[in-house]
Amino acid sequence: MLLVSLAPAITKNLGSKAVALLLALVVCAYVYTEEEQRTRLRIPLHVNGLAPDLVLVGDPPDEVAVTARGKGRHLFKLRFRPPHMELDLSEARRGEVQRMLSPADVFLPVDMDVSIVEITAPRMVTLAVDTLIQKNVPVEVPLMGELPAEFAWLGPVRAEPPEVLVRGPSGAVGDIDRVVTEPVNLSMVRDSSALIRAVRWGQPRGSVTPESVRLIVPVAAVRRRSLGPLPVGVTGLGRSLAAAARPDSAVVLLEGPVGVVDSVTARDVAVAVDLSGLEPGVYQLAPRAALIHELVTVSAILPNRVTVEVVRAPR
């Protein structure tokens, strides 16, 4: 009932009341924009002037809290054209540097009647400055997984270039003796095509040149072949003893990269049984093969046992 009775009073001269309200808002807005006020802002901090042979260790604050004073309309504009603070380190030397932050370090947009009256946080910054040095270090390639059985190595994995230039704080660069690339998963290798891998160095204030290297993973398909029969010799035979193996020849099964295993000849392989410490008697021994090619392996010798009779040598 009360609302019903008040309705005519509220709606009477509604247009005039709306105009009055609008005028009141305009007056309030004018007063707000023209009267002097204070506001807190967070502005970016820029560090400059550091000598070319110096570098910061660690990060300075990204922002600084300040108190600004000016007319409301100018302070409002700062939201769209924010000021920034510049910290001049042209006089800095190696070691710890402390700087008090001052309103004079704040750069305001031109043609804006605003002043910075206070630096609220942080009021002081402490920075570590180090000498910037550089040196060449070797590149190491981490390997993971196993090479598929159908492939064989043609040589070691290598990086091109084998060294990179690292540049950074002397405290970090001085102790570094190598950098590593992203790992190579051997189980995914299918040929000798070159891989590109980024160089890793966990120093945010440093750089590596070049940032990536070309990796050569030299592999080839495996080929298996037999060689022989080859004579079976004896080693380690004691003085005044003689011996003979039966059978006196064997076939050697070779395994290695295509194009390499085919180059192995009988001159590259020696098959023998070791008789070290044996007295006269008859023995069943496993022959061993000595191969002078590092990329080729002996997978089996047939037969895998030979009979050796050790006797006293006739005088």
- Per-residue pLDDT tens for 140-192? 999 999 888 888 888 888 999 999 999 999 988 888 889 999 998 988 887 77
Q: State the CATH class of domain 221-312.
A: mainly beta
Please report, rounded to a whole number, the percentage of residues in the chain having pLDDT higher than 70. Answer: 89
Per-residue confidence band for 244, with pLDDT thresholds at 50, 70 and 90 = confident
Instruction: Find residue 261's DSSP bridge partners.
Output: none
Per-residue confidence band for 30, with pLDDT thresholds at 50, 70 and 90 = very low
CA 136 vs CA 50, 162, 164: distances in Å: 24, 10, 5
Average pLDDT, the chain: 84
Residue 29: the pLDDT is 45
Which residue type occupies 45? L
Element containing residue 142 per DSSP (H, E): none
Find the mean pLDDT for residues 241-254: 92
Residue 274: the pLDDT is 93
- Give the residue range(s) of CATH 2.170.120.40 domains in the chain: 132-217
Residue 27: the pLDDT is 46
pLDDT at 305 over 90: yes
CA 218 vs CA 137, 189, 202, 277: distances in Å: 23, 10, 29, 43
Element containing residue 128 per DSSP (H, E): strand 124-140
Find the mean pLDDT for residues 63-67: 91
Residue 2: the pLDDT is 46
Per-residue confidence band for 13, with pLDDT thresholds at 50, 70 and 90 = low
Write down how long the chain is: 315
pLDDT at 107 over 60: yes
CATH annotation of 132-217: 2.170.120.40
Read off the pTM. Answer: 0.63
CB 37 within 8 A of CB 71: yes
Q: Between these two residues, 306 and 201, which has the higher pLDDT value?
A: 306
Residue 28: the pLDDT is 46
Measured distance CA(177)–CA(75) in Å, rounded:
54
Per-residue confidence band for 18, with pLDDT thresholds at 50, 70 and 90 = low
Q: State the CATH class of domain 14-122.
A: mainly beta
- Give the residue range(s) of CATH 2.170.120.30 domains in the chain: 221-312
Residue 15: the pLDDT is 59
